[in-house]
Structure 1
Amino acid sequence: MDRALARERVLDAAEELFYGRGVRSVGMDEVRGASGVSLKRLYQLFPAKEQLVEAYLERRDARWRGQLAAYVERHEEPRARILAVFDWLGEWFGEPGFRGCAWINAYGELGATSAGVAAQVRAHKRAFREYLGSLVSDAGLPGAAAGQLFLLAEGAMVTAGVTRSAEPAAEAREAARRLLDAV
C-alpha cells in the first residue's frame, strides 16, 4: 500500500474513532486495527498521536467548510446566504452519528495540553468567523454582525452536541433572522 493511501486509511479510521468516541479513549492500536495499516507504517506516518489528531482536524476542516460553502452558495440573495448557514447546521446536527463539533470536542479533551490541537481548533474557528464576515459584508451589514452570528452558530453547535437535537439550529436561525431584521 502506498503512503498516500495508507495515510487516507489511517485518517478515515481516526476520524471515525476520534469523533465517535473521543480522542483520549482511542489508542493508536485501535486506529491501526480499524485502518488495516501496520503499526510500523502508522507511526511512520504519524510519529505521535497528537500529530494524527491535528491531521484529522485539518482534513475535517477542509471538508466541513467546503460543504458549508457549497450549500450556502446555492442561495443568491446575500441575507438568504447568511440564514442558509443555520439551515446547513440543522442538516448537520440531524445526521446519524452527530456528536457535536469535532473542534470543540477536541479542544475540550486536549486544548489545555496540546498547543498543536489548540492551534488547529483556533484556525478552524477563525476561518468560520471570517467566512461569516464575508457573508455579512456581501449583505452590506455592519461588521459587528459577523461576531454575533458566529456566537449564535457556535452556541447552536455546543447545544446540539449536548442535547443530540437539531432544534438549536432552528432557534439560532430565528435569532439570526431577527438580528438581520434589526440591522
Structure 2
Amino acid sequence: MDVRSRIIDTASRLFYSQGYNSTGINQVIKEANVAKSSLYQYFPSKDDLLVAYLNEASKNTNQAIDEWLEKYSTASEKVTGLFDFLIVFAESKEFNGCNFLNIISEIPQENERVAALIIKQKNHIRFVFSYILENENHDTTLADELYLLFDASMISSKVYKSSWPAQSAKKVAEKLLNCAK
C-alpha cells in the first residue's frame, strides 16, 4: 500500500471508530507509520485529510449499495433491500453509525467544504430511493420519506447499538410501499 493510501486508510479507521475531533494528526502519523512530512505532503491540513476520508467513504458506500441492490429485481424488493443492507451493517461488530452523520455533528457549521461533501453523499442516497421508485410512478415525497426513515434508523441503530431500529424501519417502509400502491 502506498503512503497516501496508508494515511487515508489509517485516518478512516480512526475517524470512524473514535471520531474526527478525538483523532490527532500525530496519532494518524504513528499508526500509519509515516513521517510527518509525508502526511503534510499529501494533506496540508487535517481538514484536507477529512475531505479525502469522506471521498473514500462515499465511493465505498455507493459501491457497496450498488452491489447489494443487484440481487433484487422489483422496486419494493430494492427499497426493503436497502433496509436489509442497513440491518447487516448495524449488526457488524465495527458498526459506529454513518460516517457522514458522525462527521457533520463534529465539524463547525462554517465548514462549508466538508458540509457540501456530506450533503452530496446524503443526496446520493436520496437519489437511490428516487431512482428505484421512478418507474413505479411514485412521487418524490415517498422517496424522501423512505430516505428519512433510512437515515433516522441508522442514527438510532448507533444510539441503541442494535439493529432493531433498522428492522423496525424496514417494516414501516413495507407499509409505506403498500399504501403507495
Shorter-chain TM-score: what band? over 0.9
Instruction: Normalising by structure 2, report the TM-score.
Output: 0.96
Shift of 1:122: 0.6
Determine the structure 2 residue equivalent to 1:103.
Answer: 100
Distance 1:111 1:119 in 2: 13
Show structure 1 runs of 5+ residues with no match.
none
**3-state SS in 1 of match to 2:96:** coil
Shift of 1:111: 4.5
Q: Which residue of 37, 42, 45 corresponds with 1:40?
A: 37
Determine the structure 2 residue equivalent to 1:128.
Answer: 125
Runs of 4+ in 1 over 4 A off after TM superposition: none
| Fraction of identical pairs, as percent | 27
Distance 1:140 1:66 in 2: 26
Q: Structure 1 89/111 Cα, relative in aligned 2: closer, same or farther at 3 Å?
A: farther
Of 39-48 and 161-170, deviating more is 161-170
**3-state SS in 1 of match to 2:2:** helix
Instruction: Normalising by structure 1, report the TM-score.
Output: 0.95
Matches within 5 A, 1:139-154: 139-154=136-151
Does residue 1:157 correspond to 2:151, yes or no? no
Shift of 1:143: 2.2
Does residue 1:59 correspond to 2:78, yes or no? no
Q: Structure 1 73/138 Cα, relative in aligned 2: closer, same or farther at 3 Å?
A: farther
Show structure 2 runs of 5+ residues with no match.
none
Determine the structure 2 residue equivalent to 1:166.
Answer: 163
